Amino acid sequence: MSGPNVAKEPGPQGEESPVAHSPLPDEKKKREYKEFGHDEEKPTHANVDMSLIELKAEDLYDKEKVDLETIVIEDVFKLLQCDENGLGDEEAQRRIELFGPNKLEQEEQNPFLQFLSFMWNPLSWVMEGAALVAIVLSNGNNQPPDWEDFIGIVLLLFINSAIGFYEERNAGNAVKALMDSLAPKAKVKRNGTWLEIESAGLVPGDMISFKIGDIVPADCRLTEAINVSIDQAALTGESLPQSKKLGDQCFSGSTCKQGEAEGVVISTGANTFFGRAASLVGQDDDTTGHLQKILAQIGSFCLVSIGIFVLAEILVLYAGFRYSYRRGLNNILVLLIGGIPIAMPTVLSVTLAVGAQQLAKHKAIVTRITAIEELAGVTILCSDKTGTLTTNKLTIDKATIRTYGPFSADDVMLLAAYASRTENQDAIDSAVVQALGDVSRARAGIKLLDFKPFNPVDKRTEITYREESSGKLKRVTKGMTGIIIELCSRNKTEELENRLEADVEEFATRGLRALAVAYEELDGQDPEGEGNGFELIGLLAIFDPPREDTKQTIDDALALGVKVKMVTGDQLAIAKETGRRLGLGDHMYPAKVLKDGPAPGSKHLSLDEMILDADGFAGVFPEHKYEIVKRLQGLGHLCAMTGDGANDAPALSRANVGIAVEGATDAARGAADIVLTEPGLSTIVHAIRGSRVIFQRMRNYSIYACAVTIRIVVCFAILAFAFKFDFPPFMVLIIALLNDGTIMTLSVDRVLPSMTPDSWDLAEIFSYAVAYGIYLTASTVALVAIIMKTTFFYDKFGVTFNGHPSPNGANDYQLHMIVYLQVAIISQALIFVTRSHGFFFMERPSVALLAAFCIAQLVSSIIAAYANFGFTQIQAISGGWIGIVWVWNLVWFAPLDWIKFAMKATVIKRLRERHEAAQAEQAITGVPITRTQSRAASIHESLYSNRVSFIRRAARKVGFGSKITMKPEELQRFSSIQAQRTGATLARNPSRTAA
């Protein structure tokens, strides 16, 4: 085990690792097994008159005067203007106003602004511009403003915004309800009486109490500590609890694993260590994500396409055909209204919101809705170890029990269980007793006479009992290896000690903590009498085991093309052992390589290459996790990060998808995009599959939306150029409205997820869109040409235009209706081609999509048959014409699949070959071809943001800037600064009751 390589002080689990000694003759039998910890300093007094509380800021930070790391508790009470009876209600209320509530602040989003945000993107701007054109600029040629088009456009905008707002609000409220249900409680002394309040109501100077199983509600100094052990894994990533004594600091978010304690609160809310770690979360701008970049590019494609043809119409219709102002404007309106995929942000948003509700069924709560799309493309999953891959619950590894005496491994386990508490247990006693399977065996067949619980001085437990079967008195002790072997006097040989030392060293290299067990018999019936001498009988290995489903989850993730890397604050040896057990591999590095880079002569040429190749990293601080995620993103990977502690929050925020596992701290949940409410990682595989289903729905819609844009602008521009065809803008609005209603059902469409990470290949999407759009344009232009130039339909089917075999010019009202029906039907039918990979009839759509399509086509056909709107240039057509249009569309629809296959075999194939060649070149040169930024701060892209971050990041810029260190000494030092600042605030605002 390479202890020196780990960049932070070890936690409480492992300095049982033997320290290598040169064996001196006098010390052969004295092996040293030190407990984890650090040198303690004796308490001191502040070098100022504590009766003068009004210290200046420079005094507070002058460690020569006030060093709260070491000053006695009495001085802390004076500095915080409180005592052991707690604060009064009035003083507590005053301090709430002074320091704020004890929770991380959440920004509430204004519902009205959230609603309006759906109309604030370039696509909506064009539609809003079209509305203004209809109402302001159309007032020409002695014609009134185009009220019908104006009202229709505004209605379309409002419908889209309302649907998106409703779905997102629902998702947001669900998350808020979940977070509210997780509000923690705290036991506090007010007016000399203990009360239970919400921990948000705590203030500096409050007296708090917590016991085994409680979460420490605020940063505090202990005023009373009975056998206290605190799990700080949420802050430091260490697996094992740390003993605390009177005067020690405990930090918000850590868990009491043993004993009871009282303490005085020194810091609350965003000023706690927990809150400061969360402040790193605010480093990344969350206004825009990966999906917004894609939306921006798709939007730009549509806008450029429309712009080109609008410019062409202005030149041709006004300069060439000498159109009147109003007539040309109506043609331009058709392109603006019909070409803009106005529903795109809403359709994608609704698809994501519905997807979020589906993921909730798998116990995954989505807090940043666009993270679903990014999860579909994730290629690397960086996972924290403690509490995420593992249970964060100590266990005895039965397979590695070592025996030294006449007892079997099962006997050693049973005797160790005798020497454990069966109630009010610490983590180790619980692990030993649980390992029996039947916990009642820990006291079966014996009568307890005396029990000595673990304490920090003796570092062992001991039981004296009478064996009921024989009536004999026996004694068993278990504890730290060095202490136990010193106790032993019977059958203690040089060979045994060498064997023990080798076993402990082996455990240490595998990241296992050793627990020695010894046994003796008593001759008489006096339970306090001397025994015949302890004999070492066994060595137990303690470790934090992987969750039951973790290995399967990792295998499933690998099958889905997602590589898993372990990134943990624990020791390298422990990380490697966990990696081996999970099949992750043990190709792991200590955190210092992130600073030093690969060693000279190693197989890695660069740090990026090393990070990409590694199975994981150990002994990392939050900034290391953050750096790893950032570098992986710089290499073109979409990166997900799982975690449960405050120390994971910065990396959770930086990752494209941050996932807080079940039981995660508030800081981790606040930084995460997805919050799991069920133990283990299996939910992540469900979420990845679910996100890929959602991605396929969005991709299908994107191809459809771009194709319809090309189809509308090219088709109506060609008709205007070729036939001087003036299609009424209002009917394009009807097409858009019916299209949007149908396309919304794509959010629940049946699709198959891909088995590899998804990515937006926009060249593919645009290529398909152009091919489909031009083909559908041809279907309409051909129909109009046959009607205008021939009497084919009159000759074959006897259909007429108000009794005439041919239309009355290009702008015959019935011809307008025929074109409306043809465009409406085949444009919407295109979705069945874009949603399938093979023939459209081989992949059954959802009932909702099919029903919506049928209803929309029924409405279109009824409009064609009966609509004689006086305000627009259309006239109802006969059933014969409706039948002809349907058959015409069916004939043109059939080859669409073959166009798709032809595109795959030619253009798409070449695009993919080019993409693969670029990737191969990247692999050879090591130069990243693409770079993926998380939350890219681009103004253009941010305009497409749906602003759906329902749980806002704790974005206040307080604390350490970009660095956090987690060493125990630093934690202690930090609490000193906290208490100093709190004291300074109180000094500036003295208590009203102060003399």
Q: Which helix (H) or strand (E) holds 591?
A: none
Paired tokens of 825: 């039907």
Cα–Cα distance for residue pair 730/708, rounded to 1 Å: 17
Cα–Cα distance for residue pair 619/632, rounded to 1 Å: 19
Go through the chain and tell me how many residues it has: 995
Q: Name the 3-class secondary structure at 675.
A: strand
Tokens 């059933």 belong to which residue? 879
Task: Give the 3-state secondary structure of 780-830.
Answer: HHHHHHHHHHCCHHHHHHCCCECCECCCCCCCCHHHHHHHHHHHHHHHHHH
Q: Name the 3-class secondary structure at 556.
A: helix
Kindly give the residue spans of alpha helices, DSSP state H, lying in 23-146: 57-60, 73-79, 89-99, 111-117, 122-132
Asked whether the beta carbons of 144 and 177 are under 8 A apart, the reply is: no
Paired tokens of 491: 């059958």
Asked whether the beta carbons of 17 and 3 are under 8 A apart, the reply is: yes
Q: Cα 557 vs. chain centroid, distance in angstroms?
A: 16
Active site residues: 384
Cα–Cα distance for residue pair 153/736, rounded to 1 Å: 10
Q: Which helix (H) or strand (E) holds 396?
A: strand 395-396
Strand order in the sheet with 674-676: 364-366, 674-676, 657-660, 639-643, 380-383, 563-567, 616-618, 588-590
Q: Give residue 90's identity as a one-letter amino acid code.
A: E
Q: Which helix (H) or strand (E) holds 714?
A: helix 682-723
DSSP string, 607-647: HHHHHHH-SEEES--HHHHHHHHHHHHHTT--EEEEE-SGG
Paired tokens of 537: 């009988």
Per the DSSP assignment, residues forming a β-bridge with 541 are 514
CB atoms under 10 Å from CB of 459, counted, come to 16
Cα angle 586-587-592, degrees, rounded to a multiple of 5: 115
Cα–Cα distance for residue pair 626/797, rounded to 1 Å: 71
Tokens 């917590």 belong to which residue? 210
DSSP string, 857-917: HHHHHHHHHH---TTTT-----HHHHHHHHHHHHHHHTTHHHHHHHHIIIIIHHHHHHHHH
Per the DSSP assignment, residues forming a β-bridge with 376 are none
Q: Give residue 483's identity as a one-letter amino acid code.
A: I
Paired tokens of 221: 């100094």
Cα–Cα distance for residue pair 589/618, rounded to 1 Å: 6
Q: Name the 3-class secondary structure at 489.
A: coil
Determine how β-strand 207-211 pairs with β-strand 185-190.
Answer: antiparallel
